[in-house]
């Protein structure tokens, strides 16, 4: 793959978008190679948590590749951003995904980060939805996920002005979970990823499904979905292991079964 690298670190996989000379802008190759990489990682039972990041010193991802906008037809653009998009593949990925953000996190980059489950940023990161400055609107989930994460007023201001916010503001808004000095970013992100990777994989998957459903349904439907998934998890070997380990006062050894 030309635009994506994958590194396995025990139970955690690190997926890096690798176009540093273009600030990791999301072109069609990143989308297609990223989707293929996610298919591979989805099938790999050794991988329990994914960390997604961008290469280079300057940017997590500086947005969709603007140079591709010029020649794309409306239908091709719709296809790229929806049916075959990295945004959707991340959203539907069954294992926890953490965005590790350093530098510019703009437009499609911010949308990709928001499709992840948890966002950790360096203190020098900056965030925006700058599409309005190009005469367009966000198309990778920005109007929906940003509103869910930070509320309508803050989302409106970011989307209508295109202005950047700094990492401290992003943390205060709830756009990112934690901010660390750059020197600590990777260690802190991996520490969190490894902590989650010790949990029962099927329970993690069902937690994701239930939590994501909260913003896509009403409370009654959400509560029904949650209790169905709660019942389903009772069929797993890991549920037996988790309960036995607690009663026997030992650490559980979850197998993902
Ligand atoms: N799409 C395509 N190429 C991009 C890009 C994008 N979203 N963002 C940056 N690049 C390219 C630049 O064109 C430049 O390429 P070049 O060296 O071949 O000219 C290279 O990445 C480095 O970017 P540059 O603009 O020189 O860096 P900078 O430090 O001066 O500015 C930004 C950084 C992020 C402020 C600026 O690149 C920018 O505004 N990018 C676009 C952000 C955007 O609008 N994203 C949303 C798209 S919907």
Distance between CA atoms of residues 134 and 62, nearest Å: 14
54 CB within 6 A, ligand 1: no
Pocket test for ligand 1, best of 23, 87, 126, 130 (most atoms within 8 A of CB): 23
CATH class as words, domain 4-197: alpha beta
Going by alpha carbons, the residue nearest to atom 44 of ligand 1 is 130
Spacing, Cα 251 to ligand 1 middle (Å): 48
Spacing, Cα 190 to ligand 1 middle (Å): 28
Summarize pLDDT for 185-201 with one digit per residue, the tens: 999 999 999 999 999 99
> Residues 202, 256: contact at Cβ < 8 Å?
yes
Going by alpha carbons, the residue nearest to atom 26 of ligand 1 is 22
Which positions are catalytic? 111, 131
Tokens of 177: 């979970």
Going by alpha carbons, the residue nearest to atom 36 of ligand 1 is 62
11 CB within 6 A, ligand 1: no
81 CB within 6 A, ligand 1: no
Question: What's the first-to-final CA gap in the chain, in angstroms?
Answer: 31
**Per-residue pLDDT tens digits of the chain, which is 257 residues long:** 899 999 999 999 999 999 999 999 999 999 999 999 999 999 999 999 999 999 999 999 999 999 998 888 999 898 888 878 999 999 999 999 999 999 999 999 999 999 999 999 999 999 999 999 999 999 999 999 999 999 999 999 999 999 999 999 999 999 999 999 999 999 999 999 999 999 999 999 999 999 999 999 999 999 999 999 999 999 999 999 999 999 999 999 999 99
111 CB within 6 A, ligand 1: no
34 CB within 6 A, ligand 1: no
Parse the chain into domains and list their residue ranges.
4-197, 201-247
Superfamily of domain 201-247: Lyase 2-enoyl-coa Hydratase, Chain  A, domain 2 (1.10.12.10)
The number of beta carbons lying within 10 Å of the beta carbon of residue 60 is 30
Q: What percent of the residues of the chain are helix, what percent strand, and what percent coil, each to the nearest 5?
A: 50, 15, 30
Residue 84 — φ and ψ, nearest 5°?
-110, 30
| Ligand 1 atom closest to Cα of residue 134 | 44
């Amino acid at each position: 793959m030309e635009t994506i690298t994958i590194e396995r670190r025990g139970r955690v996989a690190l997926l890096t978008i690798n176009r540093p000379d273009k600030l990791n802008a999301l072109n069609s190759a990143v989308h297609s190679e990223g989707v293929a990489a996610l298919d591979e990682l989805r099938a790999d039972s050794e991988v329990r948590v994914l960390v997604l990041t961008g290469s280079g010193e300057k940017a997590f991802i500086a947005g969709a590749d603007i140079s591709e906008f010029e020649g794309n037809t409306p239908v091709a653009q719709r296809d790229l951003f929806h049916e075959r998009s990295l945004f959707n593949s991340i959203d539907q990925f069954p294992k926890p995904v953490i965005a590790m953000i350093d530098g510019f996190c703009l437009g499609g980059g911010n949308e990709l980060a928001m499709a992840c489950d948890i966002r950790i940023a360096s203190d020098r990161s900056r965030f925006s939805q700058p599409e309005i400055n190009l005469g367009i609107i966000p198309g990778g989930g920005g109007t929906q996920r940003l509103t869910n994460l930070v509320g309508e007023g803050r989302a409106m201001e970011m989307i209508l002005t295109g202005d950047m916010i700094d990492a401290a503001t992003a943390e205060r808004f709830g756009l990112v979970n934690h901010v660390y000095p750059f020197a600590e970013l990777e260690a802190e992100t991996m520490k969190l990823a490894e902590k989650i990777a010790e949990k029962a994989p099927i329970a993690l998957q069902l937690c994701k499904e239930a939590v994501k459903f909260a913003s896509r349904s009403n409370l009654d439907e959400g509560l029904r979905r949650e209790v169905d998934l709660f019942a389903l998890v009772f069929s797993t070997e890991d549920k037996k292991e988790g309960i036995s380990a607690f009663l026997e006062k030992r650490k559980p050894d979850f197998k993902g079964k």
